[in-house]
Amino acid sequence: MEKLKIAGGYPLKGTIKVSGAKNSAVALIPATILAESPVTIEGLPDISDVATLKVLLEEIGGTVTFDGDDMVVDPTKMVSMPLPNGKVKKLRASYYLMGAMLGRFNKAVIGLPGGCHLGPRPIDQHIKGFEALGAKVTNEQGAIYLRADELRGARIYLDVVSVGATINIMLAAVRAKGKTVIENAAKEPEIIDVATLLTNMGAKIKGAGTDVIRIEGVETLNGCRHTIIPDRIEAGTFMLLGAAAGEGVLIDNVIPHHLESLTAKLREMGVPIEVGDEHIFIGKGEVLKAVDVKTLVYPGFPTDLQQPFTSLLTKAEGSSVVTDTIYSARFKHIDELRRMNANIKVEGRSAIINGPVTLQGAKVKASDLRAGAALVIAGLMAEGMTEVTGLEHIDRGYSNLVEKLEGLGATIWREKMTEEEMEQQKSL
C-alpha cells in the first residue's frame, strides 16, 4: 500500500495534458462485447477501472490487449459467464456488463456494482429498462440475474435522469428487435461517446446528447476503431488546481464546451481564463470571491467536481455554499479539509465554506475518488507537508497523476506505507 506525499505552497506552472474520459472508457469497454469482430479504442486512460474491466472481459473469454493507451478487444469467443462477485465490486461501471451481455447473449449474471460511496446509488432505472425490453430480472444473493427469450424494443421513460441507466439501456437495446425510445435520458458527453462507438459498430441511434434517444435495433454489430473523448472531470480538476495553486497553467486536450459550467463559476470568482479550441489556460487570480454552486445533471455543474471545488473555495473571500443535489453523502472530504484548517460546516446537502484561510499540511485520507482529488488540491495549496492515503480511490480515475503534477513543478511523490501505518488505516 502506498501514500501520497505533497510539499505544498509551490506555484504550479506549465502545460498538463488530459487523458481519455474515465466515465466513457468504462462504458466503451463493455460495449465491445456487442460486436462480432475486434474493436480498437484509442486513448484510454491508464487507470485501475480500465485494468479491472480488461480482466473481466478476459474472464468471459475475450482476448484483450492494452498498452496503456490503446485497447484492442476481440469479443468473438466471449460467452455469458456468470460474474456474480469478486472484481465487479471494485468499480461502479461493472453494471454495464449487464446491458452489454444481455444485448449479445440474452442472459447475464452480474454482481451488484461497487464504486464511490456517496449515499444510496440504486440501479432500479437500469432494471426497469431491461424489463421493458423483455428481460426477466431477479436479485439473488447480491447478484442480478437477467434472462430474455428475445429482447424487443420499447418506450422507456426514466423516472430519474441517470447516466448509467441511459447507457445501459442503449447497450441492451441496440441489438433488440424493433424500436426503443428512451425518454428523460441523461445528456452527458460520455453518452454521446458511447453512441458514437455503437454507431461505428453498425448500430442505429438518434438523439444521444438530448433527452430523447431513439434506437432501431440491428441484428449484428461489427468491430471498428474509435477514439475516446477527453476526460472533462480530470480537466476540471486541473482547472481547479490551476486556480488554487497556479501561476499560469495550460490544460491541453480539452473540449471546452464540456466545461462551460465550471468556466463560468471560476470567472465569477475572478479567475482569469482563456479558452482555446482544444485547451484552457488558467491565469493567476489576485483576490478570489466566494460563490455558490449547485450540482446538477449535464450541462449543469457536475457533482464529480463539487469536492475539488470546495478545496479552492477555502481560498475565496467570504462565505460560499456548495449544494449537491445528486448525492446525499458526498461531503466525506470535509472532515479531512477541516484537519487542514479549513473553516467549513455541513448542513444537510450543503457545505458552507468560510474563507480565506491558509490551509496547513496534515495526514488525511481519501474516502472516494473525488475526495482524493480535493485533498491533492488542498495539499498543493497548503503550507507544509500533506500525506494522503486511500490512493486506491484516486487510482480508479486519475492516470499518472504524480507524473502529470511533477510536470507543473509540484513536489509530490508516492511512498510505501509502513506496517504500522497500514494497521492504523484499517482502524480508521
Ligand X SMILES: C=C(OP(=O)(O)O)C(=O)O
Ligand Y SMILES: CC(=O)N[C@H]1[C@@H](OP(=O)(O)OP(=O)(O)OC[C@H]2O[C@@H](n3ccc(=O)[nH]c3=O)[C@H](O)[C@@H]2O)O[C@H](CO)[C@@H](O)[C@@H]1O
Residue 352 CA from chain centroid, whole number = 25
Q: Pull the grid cell for residue 19.
A: 487523458
Binding string, residues 317-356; x marks residues near ligand X by CB under 6 A: ----------------------------------------
Burial of 359 (0-12, 13-18, 19+ CB in 10 A): buried
State the residues that interact with ligand Y by CB under 6 A: 23, 26, 92-93, 120-126, 160, 162-165, 186, 303-304, 326-327
| Binding segment (CB under 6 A) for ligand X, from list 86-94, 179-187, 218-226, 378-386 | 86-94
Annotated binding residue at 22?
Answer: yes
Using CB under 6 A as the binding rule, whether residue 397 contacts ligand X is answered as yes
In 3D space, the residue among 73, 80, 115, 78 whose CA is nearest the CA of residue 94 turns out to be 115
Q: Can you say whether residue 338 is alpha, beta or left, with left for phi > 0 and alpha for psi between -120 and 50 degrees?
A: alpha
The single residue listed with the C-alpha cell 434472462 is 147
CB nearer ligand X, residue 74 or residue 188: 188
Question: Closer CB to ligand Y, residue 306 or residue 389?
Answer: 306
Residue identified by cell 482502524 is: 427
Q: How many CB atoms lie within 10 A of CB 155?
A: 11
Q: Which residue, among 119, 70, 114, has the nearest Cα to 95 in the 3D structure? A: 114
The entry of ligand Y, ligand X, none near residue 370 (CB within 5 to 8 angstroms by kind) is ligand X
| Contact between 249 and ligand X per CB under 6 A | no
- Please name the amino acid found at residue 337: L
Q: Which of 38, 111, 115, 230 binds ligand X (CB under 6 A)?
A: 115
92 annotated to bind ligand: yes
Among 369, 377, 381, 388, contact with ligand X (rule: CB under 6 A) = 369
Measured from the CB atom, the residue of 131 and 421 that comes closer to ligand Y is 131
CB of 392 to ligand X, least distance (A): 12
Give exposure, 16-26, as e/b (b: 16+ Cβ within 10 Å): bbbbbbbbbbb
Nearer to ligand X, 106 or 310 (CB): 310
Judged by beta carbon, residue 189 or residue 202, the one nearer ligand Y is: 189
Q: Which residue is catalytic, options 25, 116, 201, 245?
A: 116
In the 3-class helix/strand/coil scheme, how is 116-181 assigned residue by residue? CCCCCCCCHHHHHHHHHCCCEEEEECCEEEEECCCCECCEEECCCCCHHHHHHHHHHHCCCECEEE
120 is in an annotated binding site: no
Please answer whether residues 262 and 301 qualify as being in contact, where contact means their C-beta atoms are separated by less than 8 angstroms: yes
- The residue with its CB nearest to ligand Y is 164
CB neighbour class for 142 (10 Å; exposed up to 12, middle 13-18, buried from 19): exposed
**Could you tell me which residues are beta bridge partners of residue 225?**
40
Q: Is 124 annotated as a binding residue?
A: yes
Write the DSSP symbol of residue 270. Answer: T
Three-class SS state of 238:
helix
Which span sits near ligand X by CB under 6 A: 61-69, 71-79, 85-93, 220-228?
A: 85-93
Please report how close the Cβ of residue 213 comes to ligand Y at its closest, in angstroms: 15
Q: Is 304 in the site for ligand X (CB under 6 A)?
A: yes
The answer to the question of whether 11 is labelled as a binding residue is: no
Residue in the shown chain whose Cβ atom is closest to ligand X: 115
Strand partners, 282: 249, 273
Respond yes or no: is residue 224 known to be catalytic.
no
326 binds, among ligand Y, ligand X, none (CB under 5 to 8 A by kind): ligand Y
- What does the per-residue mask of binding to ligand X show for 88-107, with x meaning CB under 6 A? ---xxx--------------
- By a kind-dependent CB cut-off of 5 to 8 A, residue 125 interacts, out of ligand Y, ligand X, none, with ligand Y
The SS3 of residue 55 is helix
Q: Return the one option of ligand X, ligand Y, none that residue 294 interacts with (CB less than 5 to 8 A, by type).
A: none
Least separation in angstroms between residue 283's CB and ligand X is 27
Residue type, 376: V
123 is in an annotated binding site: yes
Q: Is 304 known to sit in a ligand binding site?
A: yes
- Bind-site residues for UDP-N-acetyl-alpha-D-glucosamine: 92, 121-125, 304, 326
- Bind-site residues for phosphoenolpyruvate: 22-23
Residues annotated catalytic, as ranges: 116
- Contacts with ligand X by CB under 6 A lie at 22, 91-93, 115-116, 304, 369-370, 397
